[in-house]
Amino acid sequence: MRVIMVFMRHKLLLALVKLSERKVSRLQIVKQAFLLRQHLSSDYARRFYEFLPYDWGPFSFTLYHDLQKMADSGLLTFPSDKTIEATEHSSSVSKSLEPRLRAELYSFWEAYGNYRVGQLLDLVYENYPWYASRSKRGRQNGLEETAKCEVYTIGYEGMQLDGFLNVLLASGIQTIVDVRKNAVSRVYGFHGSTLASVADRLGIKYRHVPELGIPSAWRTDPCSGLELDTLFSKYRGEVIPLVEGTIDNVASIVCQKPSVLMCLESNPAKCHRSVLAEYVSRVSGLSISDLR
């Protein structure tokens, strides 16, 4: 049995599956997990799964990824390609929930545990219409967003893939311009190839422009504003002059469709994308808008 690092979200998901006391459909567990997030107190909710609108309402690619990891570890089985069942190995993990979190889970289960899939969908669609905006079931409720062209920026630090993409969908973004030097990450979904694949399923284009990133040899762990200032000054002086043509191309992209410059840091002031955005703004004539 392969061991995985078990986070709170894994424990809670396992406990949710076990409460069914039988095999349960993946569709049902995803909708239950979404409603459970709404039911949890904020300190637990932010550590649980994030969701985005998809074919059958709220969906989490991260949750699906974790289900597979837990199956590989022997904590779950897939009796069929659409169902899930907890194994005996999951008991010790799910039982390790904090008492207050367990109480919140049981409170949720008492309210919604007997809901069938159709009832769960009705409840979600009625109360959370944004998450039904791309659904095949009563598709298109008019809530899909459009955005004007600006120089948008975003950092994914502290986010799950689904929460990140949900921000982009809600903001009307149509193209991700990844300005990391290396499109790799330990966080699921932010490796360039994975992000490109999932974004494409949502109708969002992905472009990696590594020449606009901070050279790997410069990377340190800045602890002060002075170090950041030095890094950004070097970026302005040594990188920008070499990539003027690339900046022109990015400016053309952001003028054609709502597009976002993406990097890691959540605070744009601590990320080179803020410097890059200034140059793209000058060329494009568009204002800068930080999504986060």
pLDDT digits (tens, 9 = 90+) for 239-267: 999 999 999 999 999 999 999 999 999 99
Query: Do 121 and 227 have their domain in common?
Result: no
190 and 121 in a single domain? The answer is no
Looking at the fold, whether 167 and 80 belong to one and the same domain comes out as: no
Q: Are 128 and 58 a contacting pair, CB within 8 Å?
A: yes
> Domain end: 132, 167, 201, which one?
132
Distances in whole angstroms, Cα of residue 117 to Cα of each of 25, 51, 76, 113: 9, 18, 20, 11
User: Could you tell me the pLDDT band of residue 153, with boundaries at 50, 70 and 90?
Assistant: very high
Full-model pTM: 0.92
More confident residue, 292 or 114: 114
Q: Two tokens at 3?
A: 């061991």
> Using one digit for the tens of pLDDT, what is the confidence trace for 47-105?
999 999 999 999 999 999 999 999 999 999 999 989 999 998 888 887 789 999 999 99
What's the rounded Cα separation, in Å, for the pair 157 and 164? 9
Confidence band, pLDDT 50/70/90 cuts, at residue 274 = very high
The β-bridge partners of 86 are 76
Print burial letters for 64-82: b (CB count within 10 Å at least 16), e (below 16): eebbebbeebebbeeeeee
> In which domain, by residue range, is 280 found?
151-290
More confident residue, 48 or 220: 48
Q: 175 and 271 in one domain?
A: yes
Helix (H, G, I), strand (E, B) or coil at 76: strand
Question: Is 145 within a domain?
Answer: no
Can you give the CATH number for the domain in which 119 is found? 1.10.10
Averaged pLDDT for residues 106-112: 97
pLDDT at 224 over 50: no
Closest CA to 276 of 191, 200, 181: 181
- Tell me if 2 is assigned to some domain: no
Question: Residues 214-230: what's their mean pLDDT?
Answer: 72
DSSP at 117: H
Same-domain status, 34 and 79 = yes
Q: Is residue 201 part of a domain?
A: yes
146 occurs within a structural domain: no
Same domain, 171 and 234: yes
> What pLDDT is stored for residue 218 in this prediction?
83
Q: Report how far apart, in Å, the C-alpha atoms of 164 and of each of 21, 91, 156 are.
A: 33, 32, 6
Q: Which of 75, 97, 132 is the last residue of a domain?
A: 132
The residues with which 54 forms a beta bridge, in sequence order, are: 57
Q: C-alpha 155: how far from its chain's center?
A: 11
CA distance 56 to 63: 15
What's the start-to-end Cα distance of the chain, in Å? 40
Instruction: Tell me: do 126 and 156 sit in the same domain.
Output: no
Q: Is residue 138 part of a domain?
A: no
pLDDT more than 90, % of the chain: 82
The C-alpha atoms of residue 222 and residue 224 are separated, in whole angstroms, by 6
E-only strand ranges, 109-204 = 151-155, 175-178
What per-residue confidence (pLDDT) applies to 48? 98
Is the sign of the CA dihedral 256, 262, 267, 270 positive or negative? negative
Say which residue the tokens 């989490």 belong to: 60
137 found inside a domain: no
Q: Is the pLDDT of residue 226 over 60?
A: no
Residue 285 shares a structural domain with residue 160: yes
Whether 288 and 150 have beta carbons less than 8 Å apart is answered as yes
Give the single-character DSSP code of 96.
T
Same domain assignment for residues 116 and 37: yes
Q: Judge if 159 and 104 occupy the same domain.
A: no
Q: Considering the chain, what percentage of its residues have pLDDT values greater than 70?
A: 93
pLDDT tens digits, 127-148: 999 999 998 876 555 556 678 9
Q: How far apart are CA 93 and CA 260, in angstroms?
A: 39
Identify whether residues 86 and 113 lie together within a single domain. yes
Q: Judge whether 58 lies within some domain.
A: yes
Q: pLDDT class for 216, splitting at 50, 70, 90?
A: confident
Domain identity same for 178 and 253: yes
